[in-house]
């Protein structure tokens, strides 16, 4: 009996070690990714690593596959070839149930905020908690209020999305994305369609969350000035690959004609 108990303890220790080992290395790794839609090649041998706790902004002209990149990391689309590791797990071809477990550890802010029109602000933010947690209604309400306070939207809990401005909708979408305390945060054009003041407010919020929560983040954006503010590194895409990656100062040192034009004028 004693030997069986010891064996069980050793097995548990091994399982724990394996689980911890899975998260060793960058939380996001893409290697030699190809993706095409019919005759249109979108990603053409893309490689990208994002370090733990890093905020990386991915920039490039329209149609270069920036949003596709986020969908691949979320497992919403599959690459034609290549490997994608998220939080230590290879996700290409992963079973739906296992992929759903990984998605719970990822927050996603859609470009349009993607709120449910028929639900109030409070109900929108509560939605992932209702589906993926077993906390009580009282705890859920408290959590939702705290999340909305984080994005300065607690006074609008009873409003419907149609009653909110674009910037306010982005804030609510961000609160919902944070509901399950994600380790990774993905932002798809967080400042698109916003006036300069509101865009600056969203950038300040992203910075604040990065400092407080230490999440690993990818920001897909066309906004070079904003990316310079919120990012540890920038990655510039062209022809389905990462053309160059580094700090803004690193990009400025590049002699590549496209990089020079991009850093001088933005896109």
According to the model, what pLDDT value does residue 168 have? 94
Sign of CA dihedral 62, 65, 69, 74: positive
| Main-chain dihedrals φ then ψ at residue 106, nearest 5 degrees | -125, 130
> What's the chain's length in residues?
267
- Contact criterion met (CB below 8 Å) for 182 and 106: yes
- Mean pLDDT over 48-54 rounds to 96
pLDDT at 10 over 50: no
pLDDT, the chain, mean: 88
SS3 at position 163: helix
According to the model, what pLDDT value does residue 17 have? 36
d(C-alpha 73, C-alpha 255), whole Å:
31
According to the model, what pLDDT value does residue 193 have? 86
184 versus 62: the higher-pLDDT residue is 184
According to the model, what pLDDT value does residue 111 have? 86
- Contact criterion met (CB below 8 Å) for 87 and 184: yes
pLDDT at 1 over 90: no
Domains for the chain: give ranges and CATH numbers.
52-81+95-265 (3.40.50.300)
- Mean pLDDT over 187-198 rounds to 91
d(C-alpha 148, C-alpha 124), whole Å:
11
Confidence category of residue 62, pLDDT binned at 50, 70, 90: confident
Sheet holding 233-238, edge to edge: 106-109, 184-188, 216-220, 55-59, 233-238, 241-246
According to the model, what pLDDT value does residue 264 have? 83
d(C-alpha 124, C-alpha 121), whole Å:
5
pLDDT at 15 over 90: no
204: which 2 tokens?
Answer: 């300040």
- List pLDDT tens digits, range 17-50: 334 445 568 999 999 999 999 999 999 999 999 9
How many other CB atoms are there within 10 angstroms of residue 94's CB atom? 17
- List pLDDT tens digits, range 202-256: 999 999 988 899 999 999 998 899 999 999 999 999 999 999 999 999 999 999 9
Q: 117, 202, 118, 112: which is closest to 153 by C-alpha?
A: 202
According to the model, what pLDDT value does residue 18 have? 36
- List pLDDT tens digits, range 103-152: 999 999 998 889 999 999 999 999 999 999 889 999 999 999 999 999 99
- List pLDDT tens digits, range 87-96: 999 999 999 9
Confidence category of residue 176, pLDDT binned at 50, 70, 90: very high
pTM: 0.86
According to the model, what pLDDT value does residue 22 have? 53
75: which 2 tokens?
Answer: 């497992």
């Amino acid at each position: 009996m004693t030997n069986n108990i010891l064996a069980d303890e050793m097995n548990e220790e091994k399982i724990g070690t394996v689980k911890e080992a899975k998260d060793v290395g960058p939380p996001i790794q893409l290697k030699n990714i190809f993706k095409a839609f019919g005759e249109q090649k979108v990603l053409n041998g893309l490689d990208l690593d994002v370090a733990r706790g890093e905020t990386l902004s991915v920039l490039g002209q329209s149609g270069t596959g920036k949003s596709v990149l986020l969908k691949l990391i979320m497992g919403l689309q599959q690459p034609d070839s290549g490997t994608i590791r998220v939080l230590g797990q290879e996700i290409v071809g992963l079973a739906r149930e296992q992929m759903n477990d990984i998605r719970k550890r990822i927050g996603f802010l859609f470009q349009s905020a993607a709120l449910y029109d028929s639900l109030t602000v409070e109900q929108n933010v509560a939605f992932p908690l209702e589906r993926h947690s077993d906390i009580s209604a009282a705890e859920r309400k408290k959590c939702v209020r705290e999340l909305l306070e984080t994005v300065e939207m607690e006074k609008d809990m009873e409003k419907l999305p149609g009653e909110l401005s674009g910037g306010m909708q982005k804030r609510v979408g961000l609160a919902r994305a944070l509901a399950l305390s994600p380790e990774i945060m993905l932002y798809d054009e967080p400042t698109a369609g916003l006036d300069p003041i509101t865009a600056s407010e969203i950038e300040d919020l992203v910075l604040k969350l990065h400092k407080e929560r230490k999440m690993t983040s990818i920001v897909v954006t066309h906004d070079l000035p904003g990316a310079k503010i919120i990012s540890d590194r920038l990655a510039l895409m062209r022809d389905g690959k990462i053309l160059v990656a580094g700090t803004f100062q690193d990009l400025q040192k590049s002699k590549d004609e496209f990089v020079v034009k991009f850093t001088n004028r933005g896109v």
